[in-house]
Amino acid sequence: MEKKITLKQIAMVGVMAAAVYVASAFLQIPIPTAIDNTRLHMGNVMCLLSGLHHARAVHLCF
């Protein structure tokens, strides 16, 4: 059985990709270290949430 991709799913992938970009680019906290500066950003959190949302939308888990 072949699963069809709907327009709503394509739009949600685009929205989640934009949310990951915004969270990675703008929501970050610089952390000074002994060697160099590093950043803590919310992009990883948005990747996790978008993956869980997409998996739930296509009934892969939960």
Domain ranges in the chain are 7-57
* Per-residue confidence (pLDDT) for residue 18, from 0 to 100: 92
Q: What is the pTM of this model?
A: 0.70
Q: How many CB atoms lie within 10 A of CB 33?
A: 7
d(CA 3, CA 60): 12
Residue 39 C-beta-side C-alpha neighbours within 13 Å:
11
Per-residue pLDDT of the chain (62 residues; tens, 9 = 90+): 577 778 888 888 899 889 899 988 888 888 888 988 888 888 888 888 888 877 766 665 54
Residue whose tokens read 């000074």:
32
* Per-residue confidence (pLDDT) for residue 21, from 0 to 100: 92
